[in-house]
Chain A
């Protein structure tokens, strides 16, 4: 069963449970109480953040392996491209909230259904980017690789994939940030991620401090992940920097 959805104003009297360290700031529900964050970082926010990171990493890693396989197959056999695009696009348009609930019946309200849903949203992004990157390799470069006597596998590993790297990393960036955003909904079926404190805060009035702290952490996590991937890409593709200048 999915967690009950909070309907504001319908739940009747709200019994506030602000956790450890209820200062007057917390009791009066001021805009942001730093002391609450200090007290609840360990018990509430840090586990939620850690869970969020794990959900995201696992989903993007599995999604990447699947998409890379599909993209390499579609790169070699063009026939596979349209059906894959069609299926992944359909998966992409299913509302996330509904997909989470749908998976509960066959899989159960656990981490597996959360990950299946998150993975299914990364496929379209990663598949399209990897394939676009592979397709963009100039024909002359491939001819040169042929001329050097490279086999198909060699030219794939040593020419095509390195040249496709910027597009691939761009795809990973989008997938990571999208998954971080989506993982806030995971709380509806599985008790993990930053959605949990957001949900708690919404049920308490809303409790502003917790809402802003958890929401802010989500955005911050996305920005940090995106920035890190930009750096990784710069390190992996030093030639792209030379070209630009």
Chain B
């Protein structure tokens, strides 16, 4: 437990290790991790949400939408980074590509299942009211699919943040993974501190998306108790 006390001291000193030359500070690496994660997540969401929602709206491509999720889960991040290293050489681009490849599948799958699962009667009613296709999607299906879409986004955010730490194993530096993979310089308390920072980022992202989810959920849906969703579509972390 004494490592945890030291870890908090490490955090207080912003990652400075006595007797070591100046290494990148903990705060800097945390912000870098966040930056890498935000870029990857933003690209993934921009790609995956429209595809998943549109497929769900058409009720087509269920095989594709569900199996991208399964295949995406089967790709270990270390393997992905290593293979990216072979093709492009390791840098921020390869890391971001790996993040996007890992984060897109759960978002597509969840967005598809969310929109596809909206009750047909509601969609028919919306059409009967004279709504066009895009309007049906935007005003009826999307709001009702918010809980599932949001679940996908939250998984993707945890994915993305934890994968930046794996990138350090493949030789990418500039994230909290540097500390975790370099126990020799930062010692165990540094590793614990960096792990706490990654966990804090992941929990903060989860909380932020939870709050966002609540804000965009239609009033009528808010009162329902949060049901446990089966993990058929969620919980796919390959750290």
**Residue ranges of A at the interface with B (Cβ–Cβ < 8 Å):** 1-2, 4-9, 31, 90, 92-99, 101-102, 105, 121, 124-125, 128-129, 131-133, 135-136, 167, 170-171, 173-174, 177-178, 180-182, 184-185, 188, 195, 198, 201-202, 206, 208, 211-212, 214-215, 218-219, 222-223, 226
Please give, as numbers and ranges, the residues of chain B lying within 8 Å of A211 by CB-CB distance. Answer: 82-83, 85-86
| A2-B183 in contact given A97-B166, A181-B76 (Cβ < 8 Å) | yes
Question: Which residues of chain B (180-206) have a CB below 8 Å from chain A?
Answer: 180-184, 188, 191-192, 194-195, 198-199, 202-203, 206
Please give, as numbers and ranges, the residues of chain A lying within 8 Å of B75 by CB-CB distance. Answer: 181, 219, 222
Whether A177 contacts B74 by the Cβ 8 Å rule is yes
Please give, as numbers and ranges, the residues of chain A lying within 8 Å of B181 by CB-CB distance. Answer: 5, 97
Whether A94 contacts B195 by the Cβ 8 Å rule is yes
Whether A136 contacts B230 by the Cβ 8 Å rule is yes
Whether B83 contacts A215 by the Cβ 8 Å rule is yes
Please give, as numbers and ranges, the residues of chain A lying within 8 Å of B221 by CB-CB distance. Answer: none
Whether B85 contacts A206 by the Cβ 8 Å rule is yes
Chain B interface main SS type = helix
B228's partner among A7, A92, A132 (CB-CB below 8 A) is A132
| A202-B235 in contact given A98-B191, A177-B74 (Cβ < 8 Å) | no
* Closest chain B CB from A80 CB (angstroms): 13
B231's partner among A4, A125, A215 (CB-CB below 8 A) is A125
Whether B231 contacts A102 by the Cβ 8 Å rule is no
* Closest chain A CB from B26 CB (angstroms): 14
B210-239 to A contact mask, C-beta < 8 Å, 1/0: 000000000000000001111110111111
**Residue ranges of B at the interface with A (Cβ–Cβ < 8 Å):** 3, 70-71, 73-80, 82-83, 85-86, 90, 158, 162, 165-166, 168-171, 173, 176-177, 180-184, 188, 191-192, 194-195, 198-199, 202-203, 206, 227-232, 234-239
Whether A121 contacts B237 by the Cβ 8 Å rule is yes
Whether B74 contacts A219 by the Cβ 8 Å rule is yes
Q: What's the Cα separation between A204 and B179 when bound, in Å? A: 23
| A185-B74 in contact given A174-B235, A212-B86, A215-B79 (Cβ < 8 Å) | no
Please give, as numbers and ranges, the residues of chain A lying within 8 Å of B158 by CB-CB distance. Answer: 92-93
Q: What's the Cα separation between A198 and B195 when bound, in Å? A: 24
Closest 8 CB pairs of A and B: A98-B195, A222-B74, A181-B238, A8-B171, A215-B79, A181-B76, A96-B239, A132-B230
A101's partner among B70, B71, B173, B188 (CB-CB below 8 A) is B188
Whether B170 contacts A95 by the Cβ 8 Å rule is no
Known: A7-B173, A212-B83. 5 other contacts (CB 8 A): A2-B183, A8-B171, A95-B177, A95-B194, A202-B171
Whether A218 contacts B79 by the Cβ 8 Å rule is yes
Whether A181 contacts B74 by the Cβ 8 Å rule is yes
Whether B74 contacts A226 by the Cβ 8 Å rule is yes
* Closest chain B CB from A37 CB (angstroms): 15
Please give, as numbers and ranges, the residues of chain A lying within 8 Å of B165 by CB-CB distance. Answer: 95-98
Whether B171 contacts A9 by the Cβ 8 Å rule is yes
| A98-B180 in contact given A178-B236, A185-B78 (Cβ < 8 Å) | yes
Whether B191 contacts A218 by the Cβ 8 Å rule is no
Whether A5 contacts B195 by the Cβ 8 Å rule is no
* Closest chain A CB from B221 CB (angstroms): 19
Whether B78 contacts A184 by the Cβ 8 Å rule is yes
Q: What's the Cα separation between A171 and B236 when bound, in Å? A: 10
Whether B228 contacts A131 by the Cβ 8 Å rule is yes
Please give, as numbers and ranges, the residues of chain B lying within 8 Å of A98 by CB-CB distance. Answer: 165, 180, 191-192, 194-195, 198
Please give, as numbers and ranges, the residues of chain B lying within 8 Å of A6 by CB-CB distance. Answer: 169, 171
* Closest chain A CB from B222 CB (angstroms): 19
Whether B171 contacts A128 by the Cβ 8 Å rule is no
* Closest chain B CB from A183 CB (angstroms): 8
Please give, as numbers and ranges, the residues of chain B lying within 8 Å of A101 by CB-CB distance. Answer: 180, 183, 188, 191
Nearest chain A residue, comparing its CB with the CB of B102: A181
Please give, as numbers and ranges, the residues of chain A lying within 8 Å of B206 by CB-CB distance. Answer: 93
Whether A180 contacts B180 by the Cβ 8 Å rule is no
Q: What's the Cα separation between A231 and B188 when bound, in Å? A: 44
* Closest chain B CB from A63 CB (angstroms): 13
